Structure 1
Amino acid sequence: MFKKTQAHVLVYLLVALVALGLGFAGYKAFMAPKPLQLINTFPKLNPLAPFNAQNHRAESVTEKDFIGHWSIVFFGFTTCPDICPTTMMDMNQVQKGLDQKFQQDTQFVFISVDPERDTVEKLASYVPAFNPEFIGLTMDLKQTRAVTKNLGVAFMKTPSHDGNPDNYLVDHTARWFIVDPLGRRFALINPADALGKDLVQLVIDDYQNLRQQARLN
């Protein structure tokens, strides 16, 4: 009888150990970082280049205003016929689709690559039309070039076919950039990598996974 009891206890212990092992493995799998589908983090986190800009409310903004917030940044220009308005609408949907805790500490920033035409007044009518919480920035050409070079953005004027020098377009990098609360270039989003998938949902899922991982590290 005693031997049978010992055998039963041993079986129960083995079952408990197996269950504990499976539970721990499941917990590790649940807590493991989820792979990002669209967002790519930078191996080196460079700080933003110093700048002095004006936002669409005519308030002074510097690189220090990025500290303390997560920021999703896009470079464009207000007379852009297609990519910029499409991107701004996508960013609006991303902002509205984020969990509230991420909405509260994430700012969406539009930086002009056409400072000659994009005045504060133009930004004031353009940026809030997509989302009243978005921030529009403009700075002089020299500073614009410094900031774009620092983040990895290219832009150049493309003359119009009508011969009017004021009707130029601006070719520019269409990627979005994520700046962390320490004011560093943290990650980029290349919309072209969505490859026909739901870009907005991919960005929402990836960004929230990224933020969750940043909290765990």
Structure 2
Amino acid sequence: MKKRFIVLGIVFLVIGFGIGQIIKAQMKSNSMEQDIEAEEEITSLSPAGSGSEDVATIIKAPESSQQTSMPGVSIGGAFTLVDQHGKTVTDKDFAGNYMLLFFGYTYCPDVCPTELQKMSRVMELLGEDKAAKIQPVFISVDPERDDPQTVKDYVGNFHDRLIGLTGSQEQIDAVKKAYKVYSSKVEMEGMDADNYMMNHSSFMYLMSPDGANVALYPAKDTAEQVAEDIKGKIKL
């Protein structure tokens, strides 16, 4: 009888341990799902937890071109950069016109060319009159490799009015800070130091003639959606 109770005790212990592991696994799974949902709900325009209040800003990503306001977040500001012709350019050079702006880098294999092609399509869809009020702009987040000539060669593949801007690391850091842009270098294992990638935020910014942010368009928005939204926002 005593032996029987010992056996039953061992059985219940094993069953209890198994149930505990199942519950633990389920809790971990639920936690992972919540983390994924949280990551999908917010998009970092600058690195969270970086230790700098100046750049650590997390805002919700607009779900579509119909949800573009960012209450409480100041986006935009003064900058001094260099265009693809080697000329010094400041934010004041764009005063009086809307600016459709994208931050990326010329060595970008996918998102940047896709978004700049979309920007070109948006300009076409806007029609001549409204497109004339908008200046498309590309700003490099990789000044180490993107000198003016490299930027010139790159922007020549897209809209014929696209202006490409680069600058010193200090200048790029300043404009990234003003526009709440996140970017970081990713070293490629087994490659030389010059063959690196850049992680970066991928919003298209619509800025007003006085330099205020009008809208942010996430990469998932189509050219048609962006163009339609811009038509309702710009004033001729």
Task: Give the TM-score normalised by structure 2.
Answer: 0.68
Q: Percent identity?
A: 32
Return the match for 2:83 from 47, 52, 55: 55
Name the one with the larger helix percent: 1
Alignment-derived partner of residue 124 in structure 1: 152
Task: Note the residue ranges of structure 1 that are not aligned, 5 or more in a row.
Answer: 1-35
Please give the secondary structure, in 1, of the residue aligned with 2:151. helix
Deviation sequence 1:78-120 (CA, Å, 0-9, x none):
0101111111111111111112221111010000000010010
Please give the secondary structure, in 1, of the residue aligned with 2:234. helix
AA aligned opposite 1:62: T
Identify the structure with bigger relative contact order (alpha carbons < 8 Å, sequence gap 6+).
Answer: 1
Return the match for 1:182 from 197, 201, 210: 210
Distance in 1 of aligned mates of 2:215 and 2:98: 11
Instruction: Give the deviation of 1:44 after TM superposition.
Output: 5.6
Bigger drift between 177-186 and 103-112 goes to 177-186
CA 1:54 to 1:159, structure 2 compared with 1: closer, same or farther past 3 Å? same
Alignment-derived partner of residue 96 in structure 1: 124
Instruction: Give the deviation of 1:54 after TM superposition.
Output: 1.0
Instruction: Give the deviation of 1:66 after TM superposition.
Output: 2.1
- 2:65 counterpart of 1:38: yes
Alignment-derived partner of residue 18 in structure 1: none
1:140-179 equivalences under 5 Å are 140-179=168-207
Instruction: Give the deviation of 1:162 after TM superposition.
Output: 2.0
Distance in 1 of aligned mates of 2:213 and 2:125: 23
Task: Note the residue ranges of structure 2 that are not aligned, 5 or more in a row.
Answer: 1-62
- 2:236 counterpart of 1:208: no
